[in-house]
Amino acid sequence: TGHGGGVHAAWLPPEAFAPLGSRRVLVRGDGMLVDTVFDEVERACAGHGGRADRTAGDREVDLVLALRDAGPLPAPAAALARAAGAGGPLGAEGFALARAEGVTVVLADAPAGLLYGLFHVVRLGAAAFEGDHPARRHAPAMARRMLDHWDNVDVHPVMGQVERGYAGGSIFWRAGAARRDLDRVRAYGRLLAACGVNAISVNNVNVHATEARLLTGRLGDVAELADALRPYGVRVHLSVTFAAPVVLGGLPTADPLDPAVRAWWAAATRQVYERIPDFGGYVVKADSEGQPGPFTYGRDHADGANLLAEALAPFGGVVHWRAFVYNHRQDWRDRSTDRARAAYDHFAPLDGRFRDNVVVQAKFGPIDFQPREPVSPVLAAMPATRLAVEFQVTQEYTGQQQHVCYLAPCWSEVLTFAPWGPGGPTVADVAAGSGPGPATGGGLAAVANVGDDPFWTGHPLAQANLYAYGRLAWDPGLDPIAVLDEWIDLTFPASTVGDPALVRETLHAVMDDSWRTYERYTAPLGVGFMVSPARHHYGPDVDGYEYSRWGTYHFADRDGVGVDRTRATGTGFTGQYPQPWSQVYESLSDCPDELLLFFHHVPYGHVLRSGSTVIQHIYDTHFAGVQQVAQMRQRWRRLAGVIDPAVHARVAERLDEQLRCAIEWRDQVNTYFFRKSGVPDVRGRAIH
Ligand code: GCW
């Protein structure tokens, strides 16, 4: 069950539509997305014995999905709709749901709202048709909930078809061409709509020669994707190269202040909108890791971003300009350069200079998607700029979809973090536009984790990360464990599994704490980056980046470990935070344990807030982490014969690899620090 055309149904198996599909449903309203809603309802009803209507006769109904202006509704629904809509406009994507007298009503002002309302009903399952529901309004916290595909059109010699992709090839591109598997693209759009994602960029932020041409000569390929995704409310964006006027336009320069360059972007952008009227905008990685940018012309990032923003403005488009800018040719001997400082140093001084259709997109932490980082200080430093927070759903640094690592608890910590102190605005507020900055926030963006793998995400349980990302972008206040429950209910409907309670219990046992488990057996206390350069960031290599140009070091010696980022004696990075965090991170005694080595270089005998020493903490967490993985693997075995055997087998195989790899992490990290420090494990366990 759950398979259609060889592709896993993820969180939309037919059985998840049973409660809806067995009802008498009326869909009222016009527009492409209302048609989508009706198609969904019709399909569900065909499969489960219900009835789908678009015209209000005098037949009885169980569920009404209606646009407010769609004309008269049958009697009980009409009163309910009035009650549901009473609190004023529902917004471009919002909806209200109410139930009384055996009728459930979903009301929206705009077609997209009806689509999200439909999937809300699917999520509620049988509960949508039980008892009474007082009218409740739903609207997304973030206007833009975006996924960035790091998909290449051509296979890149080092990075492959999808940069940092762990789920096979791209669903959009293959070996230099568009795949044209539009059924798959539509299925993807449907999954995205069902978790709330409404924007994607379709190519890698590292824009190579072939990909550059998506903007001009190969725009048709992008238009085709936009057509396939439009019925699900997903708008398409494009990563562009800043050098486009040179490499595509044949101009001698891409200087953002050059009138010919501006004219080139204006013309190119006009042509994009002629082809794709609802095109979302551009994503740009500039002056970062070798990508071209305004620095070449002595201009800054505001000049660069504003150039593209000016071209997009007449059409309502936005430019997502990434703040991931740092010196990737550092000298490890130079102790004054600190990669963590870079984004703030480059961008904070530019606050106020960006046009209002520029979104500055900052990775959630100051370095690079490590399993544990403090929140990026950029997010608290640009009150006059629209800011988007960038997450990495693809598990580059969190087990590469070989390991179970449910990331929603990490994202939730970031989103609910209050940069100005407890009780103040949160990171989610900043992104949503309800914080101190502009009222139109930049929203969330995240690197996608899907590919042409039959399970979409390689590791079937990694589907939960994609689902949870969308849900947290819609409502960052959601409890990540409750989101996991939603995902379990949808993905493993009770009717499709042998023992629903065991399935739920096992998935929670395996997934709830998996991010912290991953953290335990990998790099300790926020130090990060002890990953293997040779194996593309998979598996341990404690000194792999220690003498590299990338600027990611741990500075372990015989006495201690960690990066001194204090103002007093270190790089001064703590000074990029507002109070109270600036002081909390500066202070050795107040700094949270999990970030200690991110901010401080300490002796191995330093006593943590937990009461343990740093060295003992390293040993304990690494032993504990491996034990937890072994338990996860044990528990998973109990689902054999209970769930879809293909899902069971794929996860079982990956848990074997996770355990192997976790043991390798444990032994390399423990041995490394034992050899450096000479301090034995107080519990006398085997360290090699
Ligand atoms: O995490 C790093 C990755 C690069 C990526 C870069 C970025 C697309 O290792 O593969 O490049 O971040 O975010 O731009």
Q: Which of 23-27, 83-87, 619-623, 629-633 bottoms out in mean pLDDT, i.e. has the lowest?
A: 83-87
What per-residue string of b and e applies to 68-107 under the rule 16 or more CB within 10 Å gives b? Answer: bebeebeebbbebbebbbeeeebbbbbbbbbbbeebbbbb
Q: Does residue 54 surpass a pLDDT of 60?
A: yes
Q: What is the pLDDT of residues 291-347, one digit of tens each?
A: 999 999 999 999 999 999 999 999 999 999 999 999 999 999 999 999 999 999 999
Residues lining ligand 1, CB < 6 A? Answer: 150, 163-164, 205-206, 285, 324, 368-369, 396
| DSSP line for 51-89 | EEESS--S---SEEEEETTS----HHHHHHHHHHTTTS-
Instruction: Pick the catalytic residue from 42, 151, 211, 396.
Output: 396
Active site residue 593: no
Residue 327: its pLDDT value, please? 93
Q: What is the mean pLDDT of the chain?
A: 97
Best of 289, 400, 538 to mutate for ligand 1, by most ligand atoms within 8 A of CB? 289
Q: Collapsing DSSP states into helix, strand and coil, what is residue 241?
A: coil
> Which residue ranges make up each domain of the chain?
3-138, 145-491, 518-563+601-677
What is the mean pLDDT of the segment spanning 149-173? 97
DSSP state for residue 642 in the 8-state scheme: T
**DSSP H helices in 106-215:** 111-124, 182-195, 209-212
Angle between helices 645-677 and 514-521 (to 10 degrees): 30
Residue 1 has pLDDT above 80, yes or no: no
Check residue 5 and give its pLDDT.
Answer: 60
pLDDT at 3: 42
Q: If pLDDT is split at 50, 70 and 90, which confidence band does 2 have?
A: very low
Nearest atom (ligand 1) to Cα of 447:
13
Share of the chain above pLDDT 90, in %: 95
Q: Whose CA is nearest to atom 12 of ligand 1?
A: 368
- Helix pair 111-124, 480-491: axis angle to 10 deg: 80
Burial label, 121 (beta-carbon count in 10 A; 0-12, 13-18, 19+):
buried
- Give me ligand 1 centre to Cα 454, in Å: 25
Instruction: Tell me whether residue 289 is one of the annotated catalytic residues.
Output: yes
What are the φ and ψ backbone dihedral angles of 416, each rounded to 5 degrees? -95, 0
Helix spans in 342-479 (H): 342-347, 408-416, 427-432, 463-474
Average of pLDDT values for 514-519? Answer: 98
Report d(CA 459, CA 666) in Å as an integer: 22
- pLDDT score of 4 more than 50: no
Tally of residues, the chain? 688
- Residues 126 and 102 sit within 8 Å (Cβ to Cβ): no
Tens-digit pLDDT profile for residues 566-575:
999 999 999 9
**537-542 mean pLDDT:** 98
Residue 41 belongs to what H/E stretch? helix 32-48
Tokens coding 565 = 């980022």
CATH code given to domain 518-563+601-677: 3.90.1330.10
Comparing 16-30, 209-223, 434-448, the range with the smallest average pLDDT is 434-448
Amino acid 71: pLDDT: 87
**Which CATH homologous superfamily contains domain 3-138?**
Chitobiase/beta-hexosaminidase domain 2-like (3.30.379.10)
Instruction: Point out which residues pair with 443 in neighbouring strands.
Output: 388
CATH (residue range 145-491): 3.20.20.80
Q: From the CA of 6, how far away is ligand 1's center (Å)? A: 31
Q: Which of 355, 386, 382, 361 is nearest to 262 (CA)?
A: 355
**Does the N-terminal peptide bond of residue 371 adopt cis geometry, omega within 30 degrees of 0?**
no
Q: Return d(Cα 401, Cα 395) in angstroms, integer.
A: 6
